Protein backbone atom coordinates (compact mmCIF):
# COMPACT_ATOMS: atom_id res chain seq x y z
CA UNK A 1 0.00 0.00 0.00
CA UNK A 2 2.97 2.31 0.62
CA UNK A 3 3.94 2.50 -3.07
CA UNK A 4 0.42 3.54 -3.91
CA UNK A 5 0.55 6.34 -1.33
CA UNK A 6 3.88 7.60 -2.64
CA UNK A 7 2.54 7.63 -6.19
CA UNK A 8 -0.55 9.52 -5.04
CA UNK A 9 1.58 12.01 -3.14
CA UNK A 10 3.84 12.55 -6.16
CA UNK A 11 0.78 12.96 -8.37
CA UNK A 12 -0.72 15.46 -5.94
CA UNK A 13 2.51 17.47 -5.83
CA UNK A 14 2.67 17.56 -9.64
CA UNK A 15 -0.90 18.79 -9.86
CA UNK A 16 -0.23 21.34 -7.18
CA UNK A 17 2.96 22.67 -8.81
CA UNK A 18 1.38 22.67 -12.22
CA UNK A 19 -1.70 24.57 -11.17
CA UNK A 20 0.42 26.84 -9.06
CA UNK A 21 2.52 27.79 -12.08
CA UNK A 22 -0.59 28.19 -14.17
CA UNK A 23 -2.10 30.56 -11.60
CA UNK A 24 1.01 32.71 -11.55
CA UNK A 25 1.07 32.80 -15.33
CA UNK A 26 -2.60 33.70 -15.51
CA UNK A 27 -2.09 36.53 -13.03
CA UNK A 28 0.78 37.79 -15.16
CA UNK A 29 -1.26 37.77 -18.36
CA UNK A 30 -4.31 39.27 -16.70
CA UNK A 31 -2.83 42.35 -15.15
CA UNK A 32 -2.47 44.54 -18.25
CA UNK A 33 -5.66 43.06 -19.63
CA UNK A 34 -7.60 43.70 -16.45
CA UNK A 35 -6.41 47.27 -16.43
CA UNK A 36 -7.48 47.77 -20.02
CA UNK A 37 -10.84 46.21 -19.29
CA UNK A 38 -11.48 48.31 -16.19
CA UNK A 39 -14.32 50.81 -16.47
CA UNK A 40 -13.68 54.49 -16.93
CA UNK A 41 -16.20 56.21 -14.67
CA UNK A 42 -16.96 59.90 -15.11
CA UNK A 43 -18.31 61.71 -12.06
CA UNK A 44 -19.13 65.39 -11.81
CA UNK A 45 -21.88 67.95 -11.93
CA UNK A 46 -24.92 67.66 -14.11
CA UNK A 47 -24.29 69.67 -17.29
CA UNK A 48 -20.51 69.21 -17.05
CA UNK A 49 -20.18 67.24 -20.29
CA UNK A 50 -19.98 63.67 -18.91
CA UNK A 51 -22.23 62.12 -21.58
CA UNK A 52 -20.73 63.98 -24.52
CA UNK A 53 -17.13 63.35 -23.53
CA UNK A 54 -17.90 59.85 -22.24
CA UNK A 55 -19.23 58.79 -25.66
CA UNK A 56 -16.13 60.11 -27.38
CA UNK A 57 -13.80 58.48 -24.84
CA UNK A 58 -15.56 55.13 -25.34
CA UNK A 59 -15.03 55.37 -29.12
CA UNK A 60 -11.34 56.18 -28.65
CA UNK A 61 -10.76 53.38 -26.13
CA UNK A 62 -12.92 50.78 -27.87
CA UNK A 63 -15.18 50.43 -24.83
CA UNK A 64 -18.94 50.34 -24.50
CA UNK A 65 -20.71 53.51 -23.33
CA UNK A 66 -23.34 53.71 -20.62
CA UNK A 67 -25.15 56.73 -19.22
CA UNK A 68 -26.72 55.82 -15.87
CA UNK A 69 -29.39 58.53 -16.19
CA UNK A 70 -30.47 57.10 -19.55
CA UNK A 71 -30.72 53.62 -18.04
CA UNK A 72 -32.84 55.01 -15.20
CA UNK A 73 -35.15 56.79 -17.66
CA UNK A 74 -35.64 53.48 -19.52
CA UNK A 75 -36.60 51.89 -16.22
CA UNK A 76 -38.92 54.58 -14.82
CA UNK A 77 -40.43 55.31 -18.26
CA UNK A 78 -40.66 59.07 -17.67
CA UNK A 79 -38.33 62.06 -17.54
CA UNK A 80 -36.24 62.27 -14.38
CA UNK A 81 -37.70 65.67 -13.42
CA UNK A 82 -41.20 64.18 -13.61
CA UNK A 83 -40.18 61.20 -11.46
CA UNK A 84 -38.65 63.59 -8.91
CA UNK A 85 -41.90 65.54 -8.74
CA UNK A 86 -44.06 62.41 -8.42
CA UNK A 87 -41.97 60.04 -6.31
CA UNK A 88 -39.33 62.27 -4.72
CA UNK A 89 -35.54 62.18 -4.68
CA UNK A 90 -35.11 59.20 -2.27
CA UNK A 91 -37.08 56.91 -4.62
CA UNK A 92 -34.91 58.09 -7.51
CA UNK A 93 -31.68 57.48 -5.58
CA UNK A 94 -32.81 53.94 -4.77
CA UNK A 95 -33.27 53.08 -8.44
CA UNK A 96 -30.00 54.84 -9.25
CA UNK A 97 -28.09 52.59 -6.83
CA UNK A 98 -29.66 49.45 -8.34
CA UNK A 99 -28.65 50.58 -11.83
CA UNK A 100 -25.11 51.38 -10.67
CA UNK A 101 -24.80 47.99 -9.03
CA UNK A 102 -25.76 46.28 -12.31
CA UNK A 103 -23.52 48.44 -14.47
CA UNK A 104 -20.54 48.04 -12.11
CA UNK A 105 -20.69 44.28 -12.53
CA UNK A 106 -19.77 44.70 -16.20
CA UNK A 107 -16.39 45.75 -17.50
CA UNK A 108 -14.77 47.50 -20.43
CA UNK A 109 -17.25 50.37 -20.20
CA UNK A 110 -17.13 54.12 -20.05
CA UNK A 111 -19.81 55.08 -17.52
CA UNK A 112 -21.26 58.58 -17.36
CA UNK A 113 -22.94 58.96 -13.97
CA UNK A 114 -25.60 61.30 -12.62
CA UNK A 115 -24.31 64.32 -10.72
CA UNK A 116 -25.62 63.14 -7.34
CA UNK A 117 -24.11 59.68 -7.48
CA UNK A 118 -21.37 60.54 -5.00
CA UNK A 119 -23.92 61.27 -2.26
CA UNK A 120 -24.24 57.54 -1.59
CA UNK A 121 -20.97 55.84 -0.51
CA UNK A 122 -22.41 52.52 -1.74
CA UNK A 123 -22.51 53.85 -5.32
CA UNK A 124 -18.87 54.83 -5.07
CA UNK A 125 -17.92 51.44 -3.64
CA UNK A 126 -19.68 49.63 -6.50
CA UNK A 127 -18.14 51.84 -9.18
CA UNK A 128 -14.63 51.50 -7.77
CA UNK A 129 -14.71 47.69 -7.81
CA UNK A 130 -13.52 47.56 -11.39
CA UNK A 131 -13.59 51.17 -12.44
CA UNK A 132 -11.36 54.21 -12.21
CA UNK A 133 -13.22 57.35 -11.13
CA UNK A 134 -12.40 60.54 -12.97
CA UNK A 135 -13.99 63.82 -12.00
CA UNK A 136 -14.90 65.75 -15.11
CA UNK A 137 -14.65 69.17 -13.57
CA UNK A 138 -16.30 72.18 -15.12
CA UNK A 139 -16.50 75.57 -13.43
CA UNK A 140 -19.95 76.21 -11.97
CA UNK A 141 -20.64 79.21 -14.20
CA UNK A 142 -20.03 77.07 -17.32
CA UNK A 143 -22.44 74.29 -16.32
CA UNK A 144 -25.50 73.71 -18.45
CA UNK A 145 -28.65 74.14 -16.38
CA UNK A 146 -32.35 73.56 -16.98
CA UNK A 147 -33.15 71.10 -19.78
CA UNK A 148 -34.87 68.63 -17.42
CA UNK A 149 -32.25 68.80 -14.67
CA UNK A 150 -34.40 68.68 -11.52
CA UNK A 151 -31.71 69.83 -9.11
CA UNK A 152 -30.13 72.43 -11.39
CA UNK A 153 -33.01 74.32 -12.98
CA UNK A 154 -30.98 77.53 -13.03
CA UNK A 155 -27.52 78.96 -12.44
CA UNK A 156 -28.09 79.85 -8.77
CA UNK A 157 -29.26 76.31 -7.97
CA UNK A 158 -26.30 74.85 -9.88
CA UNK A 159 -23.86 77.08 -7.96
CA UNK A 160 -25.30 76.04 -4.59
CA UNK A 161 -25.24 72.36 -5.55
CA UNK A 162 -21.68 72.70 -6.79
CA UNK A 163 -20.51 74.08 -3.44
CA UNK A 164 -22.30 71.27 -1.58
CA UNK A 165 -20.82 68.52 -3.72
CA UNK A 166 -17.31 69.86 -4.17
CA UNK A 167 -15.91 68.06 -1.10
CA UNK A 168 -17.61 64.81 -2.17
CA UNK A 169 -16.15 64.91 -5.68
CA UNK A 170 -12.76 65.78 -4.22
CA UNK A 171 -12.89 62.84 -1.80
CA UNK A 172 -14.19 60.35 -4.37
CA UNK A 173 -12.31 60.95 -7.60
CA UNK A 174 -8.97 59.30 -8.32
CA UNK A 175 -8.10 61.96 -10.89
CA UNK A 176 -9.47 65.29 -12.11
CA UNK A 177 -9.94 66.20 -15.76
CA UNK A 178 -10.74 69.83 -16.45
CA UNK A 179 -13.51 70.52 -18.93
CA UNK A 180 -13.46 74.30 -19.16
CA UNK A 181 -12.17 74.54 -22.72
CA UNK A 182 -13.10 72.82 -25.95
CA UNK A 183 -14.60 69.34 -26.20
CA UNK A 184 -11.29 68.07 -27.60
CA UNK A 185 -9.37 69.45 -24.62
CA UNK A 186 -11.82 67.88 -22.18
CA UNK A 187 -11.59 64.56 -23.99
CA UNK A 188 -7.80 64.47 -24.03
CA UNK A 189 -7.71 65.43 -20.32
CA UNK A 190 -9.96 62.43 -19.54
CA UNK A 191 -7.89 60.05 -21.65
CA UNK A 192 -4.65 61.26 -20.03
CA UNK A 193 -6.12 60.78 -16.54
CA UNK A 194 -7.28 57.26 -17.42
CA UNK A 195 -3.88 56.32 -18.86
CA UNK A 196 -2.05 57.54 -15.76
CA UNK A 197 -4.44 55.64 -13.46
CA UNK A 198 -3.70 52.40 -15.30
CA UNK A 199 0.06 52.63 -14.77
Q: How many CB atoms lie within 10 A of CB 55?
A: 15
Q: What is the mean pLDDT of the chain?
A: 87
Given this model, what pLDDT does residue 199 score?
84
pLDDT tens string 13-39: 555 555 555 555 555 555 666 677 899
Predicted confidence band of residue 158 (pLDDT cuts 50, 70, 90): confident
The DSSP bridge pattern shows strands 64-67 and 175-178 to be unpaired
Predicted confidence band of residue 142 (pLDDT cuts 50, 70, 90): confident
**What letter would DSSP give residue 77?**
T
For the full predicted model, state whether its pTM sits above 0.75: yes
pLDDT tens string 110-141: 999 999 999 999 999 999 999 999 999 998 88
Alpha carbon distances (Å) from 115 to 21, 169, 170, 178: 45, 10, 13, 16
Higher pLDDT: 78 or 8? It is 78
| pLDDT (mean) for 165-179 | 94
Amino acid sequence: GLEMLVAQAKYAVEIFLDTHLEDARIAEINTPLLKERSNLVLVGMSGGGKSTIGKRAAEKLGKGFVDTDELIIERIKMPIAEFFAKEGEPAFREIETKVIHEVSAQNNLVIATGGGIIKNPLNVEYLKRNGRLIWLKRDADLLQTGNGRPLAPDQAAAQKLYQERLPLYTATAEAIADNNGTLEEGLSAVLQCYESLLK
